[in-house]
Structure 1
């Protein structure tokens, strides 16, 4: 289990490193480099628009790779999704700017970001199923927290490289070539991840399906017919995690540097520290999920987010590093209280024959609402120059939506995921 869990965490680390490298670049440099003919605010919105394309592609990737996972196995998903994301990310580092090739530059960004999203759309489902379908039922949340920790590690890697370059390079060098280095580094990481993943074994649950010839012929069609309500509730419940994470890690970078005039390196440092705290807390939350239930932790996390969004914006607006850090840390701990257990919770909701498709589609639909829309809404809402209370109100509303969805979902601990019903479970 330890070897499998580490392998899944390494994979999600690399995949989300690729995804987050783009988000940081969108917040800091893509606006002026690829949309220089518009105002700074519109340029930032356009950069976040290309960022959002990746989230729109993720549900499509979850359908594509979910079909592969439910028909051919979880292991091929882990290999092909990493290969696609790695190649697209390296290519972003070679795209010429608007000054060199005009409108072709942002169009190339859109295409590559879309391919990134397709790959990441398949990654999460394959990684969590690798651990969830091998783990003992009483420790499934703990082992499934390893791939849930991967995004935090990937974020720290991507932003650690960006922070180092930002702190050591002159601004003109950083804007010229320094921002591209994290994308080039993705090639080395992807190669290492592929070497590791090609040595993994298939999960027992899928082997049983293959041996019994009980695999779904069209997994997505079966999910739409028998699990549509469950998919929508899953997406609504998980949307709060995306909203909080990308508010802290992406929108706040843009707001702090452009609107508050805070040094880029200082903002990155505060954000990275809060992500490190949430990553360290993930296995602790997972242990609590094994002890007290997945749904209980999700309800607690959503409630904490709803209560903290207005204090978060008040602390951010002060521009003081210690107060901003406090706001970010509490927000990220509230977020991970819910998200630390979803690696076990979401797969447990679905029958094994459509688990890869159902879990992946629900998870990535949440990304459209929470990850793609939130930076755009937050930037537009805070663009007038006043306090970002509209951002706080929006996030509070998302938290209440997620809370309502989790109320309607059942508890799954300590059920064995192989025995889940083939149709939507009754509300708890």
Structure 2
């Protein structure tokens, strides 16, 4: 089960992050050629952001299915959709070959990627958390989060390898396509593993007790005052995390190869190394959740991100590739890894079993529009506003971190698992689910 959850998220994030890496290195040249390089890059990042706009659609669609028919089959479909969309991107003609049809097709496939990932994340986390034994929910909930780091490392690593073994012209002509076509192999392996697992115990219990939502899960979610509160606070709590990750893992590549004029392959290897450090620390974060509680671990990590922004950008420009790599390992690898492992368990603890898939998807994917999708655009614009100086961009990142610290602190321990208000299927199942998602000191007090 843990392997199925981790493998699935790794494949999905590999596919999704291939696009983010290619957006700053390839797509701006092949699909959005303009005389102004900044405009081409911003157009490329705009299609990157569209994937995040599509993710809430996938989150609500597959969240509904996951809360009504189960986690297993929903996750199989999201993986298949992601794999096919990614492989087709690798077969697209360029702007020079077919004109405006090329970016139009790229946009459609990016939307399909967004829909697929929108339904993937919450289901994969629930697969792990709802199977996790008592006292180890935090660690189990961190395993799908490792897929984010591994997917990023795999994507940037493949691009770095192709950049190293191929000439510049060969890489631009066909090399980047290889990375996208590899997705088909990964998806076949992932589907084979995922289809062999059983439905989660929590969902089977809710189905057996006939506590699945009578109305649409989204309707049930918004009927409960505590659930509505957690949706809003959860989205704000995620703002800093989304902005941080898409700065260090996406924007930083363009910033380093463009503004800092660093070589592409070492930059990609630096991102890969930072992602591997992050992957190693995420289970440590999950273990800390079982001891100290998800909210506390997440809050401390988010505060660390906030204070690290200005030093990180100072180090980026201080000493070339090695300084850039060191800053990235600290910010993306160590700081982000210290709290990202807590996020899945934290959000799972906000909602009862019958609406958990929908609630988590809504929080994570809807916030992804402003927290993640437009971050490279905002950072590029603020960099231009500062005529190359990063300090306006740093101020924006620090603001997102402060908001997230405040919102995380507002998630009250006493109402994390049991919604208040009128009796509904969600309320009945919440009492059963409190033991499921409660962990560490917070779970004991809830």
**Which category of TM-score, normalised to the shorter sequence, fits these structures?**
over 0.9
- The question of whether the paired residues in 1 share the 8 Å contact of 2:284 and 2:338 is answered with no
Alpha-carbon deviation of 1:218?
Answer: 0.4
- The question of whether the paired residues in 1 share the 8 Å contact of 2:306 and 2:402 is answered with yes
SS in 1 for 2:384: coil
| Whole-angstrom distance in 1 between the partners of 2:138 and 2:309 | 27
Alpha-carbon deviation of 1:275?
Answer: 1.1
Alpha-carbon deviation of 1:414?
Answer: 11
Alpha-carbon deviation of 1:383?
Answer: 2.1
SS in 1 for 2:242: helix
Residue 363 of structure 2 corresponds to residue 362 of structure 1: yes
SS in 2 for 1:137: coil
Q: How does 1:28-427 map to 2 (within 5 A)?
A: 28-216=25-213, 217-226=215-224, 227-332=227-332, 333-384=334-385, 385-411=387-413, 418-420=432-434
Matched length: 420
SS in 2 for 1:383: helix
Cα distance per residue 1:8-55 (max 9 Å; x no partner): 000000000000000000011110111113410000000000001111
| Whole-angstrom distance in 2 between the partners of 1:204 and 1:68 | 17
Measured on the aligned residues, the alpha-carbon RMSD in Å equals 1.9
CA separation of 1:417 and 1:358: change in aligned 2, threshold 3 A: farther
Q: How does the TM-score come out when normalised to structure 2?
A: 0.91
Cross-structure match for 1:27: 24
SS in 1 for 2:245: helix
Alpha-carbon deviation of 1:420?
Answer: 4.2
| Whole-angstrom distance in 1 between the partners of 2:46 and 2:377 | 7
Q: How does the TM-score come out when normalised to structure 1?
A: 0.95
Structure 1 stretches lacking a partner, 5+ long: 422-427
Alpha-carbon deviation of 1:298?
Answer: 1.1
| Whole-angstrom distance in 1 between the partners of 2:416 and 2:371 | 29
| Whole-angstrom distance in 2 between the partners of 1:170 and 1:394 | 38
Structure 2 stretches lacking a partner, 5+ long: 418-429, 436-445
Cross-structure match for 1:425: none
Bigger mean CA deviation after superposition, 313-322 or 156-165: 313-322
Cα distance per residue 1:135-154 (max 9 Å; x no partner): 12310010111101011111
CA separation of 1:205 and 1:104: change in aligned 2, threshold 3 A: same
Alpha-carbon deviation of 1:418?
Answer: 3.6
Alpha-carbon deviation of 1:343?
Answer: 1.8
> Once superposed, which parts of structure 1, at least 4 consecutive aligned residues long, lie more than 4 Å away?
412-417
